[in-house]
Amino acid sequence: IPLVVPKLSRRYRGPPYLPSTAKSLDAIFNRLLPRSGVTPAKSTFLDLGSGDGRLVIAAASKGNFCRAAGIELNPWLVLLSKIKACTTSGVGVAPHFYWGNAFDAGLIRKIDPQVVTLYGRPGDGVMSKYGEVLEEALSSKGGVVISNKFGIPGWGQRLIGEVEGVKMYKIPPPQQHDGDGTNDAATERERMKG
């Protein structure tokens, strides 16, 4: 019941709780992130709509990130995530879980992620909203965004990899230039596709 009750309230509406599969975890941590150009030991991982915390806990243990966090709207799932984090062995860094709105660009900026993962469903505007919020939140430093299964509308030019339906996007830092003063974002996308 605690997982269903929040869906009845307007305050807690968002994508449904749908745990990430082992196949998705493999695609994210073993096949996409190594090609992203991100150095986990110097980076923060953030899962928007972190559910039961499995992606955040994986980032803290298998992913070797220096910081791993999740934002979840359902307080019961935040509590479950914290319990799972305390009882999981091999977690390298302490995962942080925030009870909050995944569309809060200010909270995302405060966490300062270099890698953001999300799950949303098409057809209800959630993926478009994620796109807008992440453009705002990551505009000052750039970052990698990984969407589990569904694409972000209007982000086709940012797509740099896809495995098992999991899509990886790159938001380049603003005014990234190479030695001759030209924008190097397109070059970065091509490098990461390879």
Kindly report, residue by residue over 84-140, the tens digit of the pLDDT: 999 887 767 889 999 999 999 999 999 999 999 999 887 788 899 999 999 999 999
Contact 113, 69 (CB under 8 A): yes
CB-side neighbour CA atoms (13 Å) of 182: 5
pLDDT digits (tens, 9 = 90+) for 67-77: 999 999 999 99
Per-residue confidence (pLDDT) for residue 193, from 0 to 100: 55
How much of the chain exceeds pLDDT 70, in percent?
Answer: 81
In terms of pLDDT, which residue wins out, 184 or 80?
Answer: 80
In this structure, which amino acid lies at residue 130? Y
Mean pLDDT of 172-187: 60
SS3 24: helix
Give Cα 71 to chain centroid, integer Å. Answer: 10
Rounded CA gap, 115 and 113, in Å? 5
Query: In this model, does residue 178 exceed pLDDT 60?
Result: no
pLDDT band at 49 (very low <50, low <70, confident <90, very high): very high
Per-residue confidence (pLDDT) for residue 51, from 0 to 100: 94
Mean pLDDT of 160-184: 77
Q: What's the burial of 57, exposed, middle or buried (CB within 10 Å: 0-12/13-18/19+)?
A: buried
In this structure, which amino acid lies at residue 72? E
Query: In this model, does residue 146 exceed pLDDT 50?
Result: yes
Contact 153, 131 (CB under 8 A): yes
Query: In this model, does residue 18 exceed pLDDT 90?
Result: no
pTM score, two decimals? Answer: 0.84
Q: Average pLDDT, whole number, for the chain?
A: 84
Rounded CA gap, 139 and 58, in Å? 26
Spatial neighbors of 91 by CB under 8 A, at least 6 apart, are: 57, 60, 61, 85
Mind listing the domains of the chain with CATH numbers?
5-193 (3.40.50.150)
Contact 51, 18 (CB under 8 A): yes
Query: In this model, does residue 8 exceed pLDDT 50?
Result: no
pLDDT band at 13 (very low <50, low <70, confident <90, very high): low
In terms of pLDDT, which residue wins out, 14 or 185?
Answer: 14
Helix (H) or strand (E) holding 44: strand 44-48
